[in-house]
């Protein structure tokens, strides 16, 4: 979808239950990539205590993080715009007896119900193409970062490495969901334009691997100065 097209907060094209099955059973390799990055940032900021997943879906990634002993001091918050995702999230957390450790909030990433500087870490995966105004959402994510806080945003690109895309679509096929809709995604050049439009300057960096599963997309890292 071109940068000039009108966007809105866009849901996935299948049910929350189907999304949950996909994310639970078929995204392990991609989960590990982002989980490893979270661990790297937590080691650099061991005093951090709050982590927000902005666009948490059915909270499968938060469940993975909550199981890591190195993150036992972290309080997790999952935010999603869509009520069906929150409903399935709540059922997942109840099943694992984690509602006391993972707080769920229904809200819009463009106008999050958190004070300035409330979060030490923010993660968000495969969400930018769902946002009505990606640049504004990045600014809002920066607003809720505490001094020294870090946001890691991983996004699928419209121009990914073909081998990574083929592997990703094979996992989707096994889960019974459609191939990734690249027309909804942004190219790397468009993502760079979004970050530039956000006005975050040197606080935002973009990393775009060329090989392996990470070459399906890119990482936007936002670091708030101490």
CATH label of the domain that carries residue 191 = 3.40.50.150
Q: Is residue 193 part of a domain?
A: yes
Place of tokens 């099943």: 95
Q: Is residue 8 part of a domain?
A: no
Q: Is residue 42 part of a domain?
A: yes
pLDDT tens profile 165-177: 999 999 999 888 8
Which residues span the domain enclosing 128?
A: 16-223
Residue 11: pLDDT band with limits 50, 70, 90:
low
Q: Is residue 5 part of a domain?
A: no
CA distance 127 to 11: 10
Q: Is residue 159 part of a domain?
A: yes
| Helix and strand element counts for the chain (H, E) | 7, 7
Q: Is residue 10 part of a domain?
A: no
Q: Is the pTM of this model over 0.85?
A: yes
- Which letter, b or e, does each residue of 11-21 get, where b requires 16 or more Cβ atoms within 10 Å of its Cβ? ebeeebeebbb
Report the chain's mean pLDDT, rounded to a whole number: 93
pLDDT tens profile 201-226: 999 999 999 999 999 999 999 999 99
Q: Is residue 168 part of a domain?
A: yes
Q: In the structure encoding, which two tokens stand for residue 87, read together?
A: 């409903």
> What total number of domains does the chain contain?
1
pLDDT at residue 121 in the model: 98
Q: Is residue 171 part of a domain?
A: yes
Q: How far is the CA of 40 from the CAs of 46, 97, 121, 150, 152, in angstroms?
A: 10, 27, 12, 11, 11
Q: In the structure encoding, which two tokens stand for residue 127, read together?
A: 């969400």
- Which letter, b or e, does each residue of 57-90 get, where b requires 16 or more Cβ atoms within 10 Å of its Cβ? bbbbbbbbbbeeeebeebbbbbbbbbebbbbbbb
- A 10 A CB-CB count for 166 gives 12
């Amino acid at each position: 979808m071109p940068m000039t097209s009108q966007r809105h907060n866009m849901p996935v094209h299948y049910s929350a239950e189907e999304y949950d099955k996909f994310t639970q059973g078929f995204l392990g390799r991609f989960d590990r990539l982002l989980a490893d990055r979270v661990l790297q940032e937590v080691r650099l900021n061991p005093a951090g205590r709050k982590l927000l997943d902005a666009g948490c879906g059915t909270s499968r990634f938060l469940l993975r993080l909550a199981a890591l002993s190195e993150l036992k001091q972290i309080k997790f918050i999952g935010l999603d715009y869509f009520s069906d995702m929150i409903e399935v999230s709540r059922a997942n957390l109840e099943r694992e007896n984690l509602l006391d450790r993972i707080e769920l909030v229904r809200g819009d990433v463009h106008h999050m119900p958190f004070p300035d500087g409330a979060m030490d870490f923010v993660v968000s995966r495969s969400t930018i193409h769902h946002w009505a105004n990606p640049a504004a959402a990045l600014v809002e994510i920066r607003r809720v970062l505490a001094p020294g806080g870090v946001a890691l945003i991983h996004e699928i690109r419209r121009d990914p490495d073909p081998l990574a895309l083929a592997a990703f679509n094979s996992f989707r096929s096994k889960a019974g969901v459609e191939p990734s809709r690249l027309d909804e995604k942004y190219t790397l050049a468009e993502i760079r334009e979004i970050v530039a439009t956000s006005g975050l300057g040197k606080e935002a960096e973009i990393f775009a691997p060329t090989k392996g599963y990470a070459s399906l997309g890119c990482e936007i890292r936002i670091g708030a100065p101490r």
